[in-house]
Amino acid sequence: MRQIKLHVKFEGNMMNIKKIFNKTILTLGLCCLTNYALANDLLIVNKTQQDSTCRIIKKRSQKCTDSMEGGKGITRAGKSNTVSESNIRVACFPDVDNCLAYVYMNDHCNDPVVATIRFGVTSGIISEPVIVAGSGYNINTTIGSFQVEITESKNQPLTN
């Protein structure tokens, strides 16, 4: 009986596996960066005499934007406020591209809702805002934009 010795080298195959792995990681990283690059900050322009906030509605929780660090979730009366894409991601997680917000005309989300807005961090405003009749406010925006303007309506709010 004759004995045969085989010498197997895996170095070439290991290099190919490493190359494939590195290319896969690079591709995934670029895809993720593209998703983040398409995201934008949300500009809120409050042309009223009242502060405004939003309650972000999720499946398991509801959180008022007044709790955002540094008061970034409160748009002061007569001022503009830029809410960063990263703050929106945190507030809307895990559904960052289908976020529902109830708009309030105060700094703590406890007055009646004046409107609802649906938006996403990569798509902007998804649908026309729903404005509560008789609230005394208008929400002006365009689908696909990252800007919301709040104004007082010409009609007086309904009284009880």
Same-domain check for residues 78 and 57: yes
Residue 72 tokens read as 């970034």
CA 117 to chain centre: 12
pLDDT for 160 equals 44
Do 87 and 35 lie in one domain? The reply is no
Q: Taken in order 68, 70, 74, 75, is the CA torsion positive or negative?
A: negative
Residue type, 153: S
pLDDT tens digit sequence for 99-129: 899 999 999 998 899 999 998 888 889 988 8
In a domain, 4, yes or no: no
The pLDDT profile of the chain, 160 residues, written as one tens digit per residue, is: 666 665 555 555 556 666 665 555 555 554 444 344 446 888 899 999 999 998 888 766 788 888 877 777 899 999 999 888 888 888 888 888 888 999 999 999 988 999 999 988 888 899 888 988 888 999 999 888 889 999 998 755 544 4
Same domain, 81 and 32: no
pLDDT computed for residue 35 by the predictor: 42
Q: 73 and 25, same structural domain?
A: no
Structural domain for 17, as ranges: 10-39
Does 78 lie in the same domain as 57? Answer: yes
* Phi and psi, residue 34, nearest 5°: -65, -40
Which residue type sits at 139?
I
Indicate if 106 and 60 belong to the same structural domain. yes
Asked if residue 124 belongs to a domain, the reply is yes
> Is residue 157 assigned to a domain?
no
Residues 16, 71 within the same domain: no
pLDDT of the residue at 71: 76
Q: Is residue 5 part of a domain?
A: no
- Can you point out the beta strands (E) in the chain? 42-47, 53-57, 62-64, 80-83, 99-104, 115-120, 124-125, 130-131, 137-140, 147-152
Provide the 8-state DSSP code for 148.
E
Token look-up 């906030």 returns 53
Count of domains forming the chain? 2
27 and 99 together in one domain = no
Contacts of 135 (CB under 8 A, 6+ apart): 105, 112, 114, 115, 153, 157
